[in-house]
Structure 1
Amino acid sequence: MDWLWKCSFCTFSVYVVTIVWWFELYCRDWPKIFEKSYEVQKEFGMIGIKLNFLYLPRITLIISIFHVIFSIAHCCIVKYFDKGFLNLMEVSSSAGAWAGLQKWLGYGLMAFTVVLDFFAWNAWHFADTFRAILAIYIWRLLRALNNGVKDFGSEKLEEVMRLHTKIVDLLRSINQTISGMTFVGSIYMVIYSCLLINYFLRGYGTIGRAILTVHFLLKNLIIYGVSADVSAKAHAISDWIQNCTTQKEFKLNCRSTNKLIIFASQIYSKDSIGFKGLQFFTITASFLTAIFSLIATYTIVITQLLDQNETRKDK
């Protein structure tokens, strides 16, 4: 289990670095994304669909405050039970002539690691909160579109296609800015999930780890569950398009027909729309099924290997 913990720690470090680097790399793109978002919401009003996103800033603020408090509490608890720092303080207090210097160095090192841990934890929670809010936002847009078009006829086909295309373009821009975090975060999610499961299977579960596990699983359930449903709702518009084409009064000119063909090819293309991880994968229901199967298989194999190693040591 030690090497699994080291692997999880290394992946977490890479994830934090990726978060900082990716935000710095694409920080200038976010004003353009906000402009596209405003245009999409304006387009909803033009075709007669009402949107209500007043709650999103409040939810984001509440979740961010919760994660800051959660990070502070977690860092303090970890440092309180950290035997390495306790031993460092004991050595520093009985180190002879250099006792004072070693004591202050120990305090400085402790303060540095606490600040570093606090920054890393908050960067992780901020990135995951940001990904969750973005997924919920796109999900609400597609859900509102799918519900709104039920009352529309084929006369609004071009307007609906244009709006859907703008939403997909907004999603594409968001993917460009967070796809690196999605890719590394998905790898870390798999490894850390295996580590937490192995902790409890090996009898190392504590109340603190249980709280951390519940928080971790709920957070990722929101991120990946909503992201997978985004892909499903993006393709759900195909049912309405099919109903429109079967209506008797359905007529299109040559230009509109070409637009419909291009639009339909994108909609019916499997896994073409959704949150992506550096173009390696798209978060869909089938992707999550594969991930859950991988975690279950990996955990069983690792547990059996650990049992065999302990049996050999006992002999």
Structure 2
Amino acid sequence: MKPSTLLIALVSGLASALLFAGLVLQSTSAISFALAAPIPIAIASLGWGSVAGFIASAVAGMTIYAIAMSGPSALTLFGTMALPMAVAGHLAGLARPASEPMLANGASSARRSESDLDWYPLGRVLFAIAAMAIAACLFLGWLLGYDPDAFVPTVVEALGQGGGPGMETLSETQLREFAELVIALVPFVQPALLTITLASGLYLGAAVVRVSGRLPRPKDDIPSATHLPKLALPIFGAAVAAVFLGGSIGVVAAVVVGALGAAFTLVGLASLHRRTRGRPGRGLVLFTSYAAILLLSFPIVLFMTLGLFETWRGQDGPPPRQS
């Protein structure tokens, strides 16, 4: 490995750790910075090779441990963001010459002509991101000893002390019911947010590396290329059914539903971008759709359903590319 590549890996790992450090130190602006923590890892992996990405992820975890002297905090960053992003960057950098095995992202594959290479499909990268989000959330739940019943009193206390306007008027019973609802949604929301964070981080990292001219992968036509493998459909269906079993099985199933649901939603949004190309009022349609998701939340179900349909009818072949 070249010294410059090692330096990039070290700097990327430090940057990722510093972005995440605010969450560990309980800064008020922590969440927005922590969500950007995977981006430096993506830049290192996509621009300087998979090894640089894995080194950066390890450096990020060790830096957090040095800052907070907390093993769980270091494992949280490493296991939920840094390592999954390094793996996603590795997959995005895989290329296969015609009739030859996959080659890892590196100098040899970068020098080949784009027409000589088949790149790892974006849909499978997204599926891998969702799978890693599931594994990461389950690992985090095990690490922290997640127990819904044990968290109820803490959430009730937090809501009673400053949970927002109107909370002070609720009775103890109403607060407890609301707390139970919030806790029940965590297994769905956390993996969904992590899936979107990793996918967005990979996209933004690729955009930065492409501007620098170091991205060997040609620009993908994302709206046309984003289809999950059809294997995701039966897995999602089984998880939805298992949610109603309750208990530990229900919690695990909820994590699967949350991560894959977010991935299907991204597929649905990609389909919206593709279907509105060249049509009048496209900007207004896209703006309204995203605004509705942010403000009302329930339109997510519509785009998730569209993503399920697109996956059902889609193909798992090589993705289209955009020059």
Per the normalisation by structure 2, the TM-score is: 0.28
Structure that is richer in helix per residue? 1
Q: Which has the higher contact order (CA 8 A, sep 6+)?
A: 1
Per the normalisation by structure 1, the TM-score is: 0.28
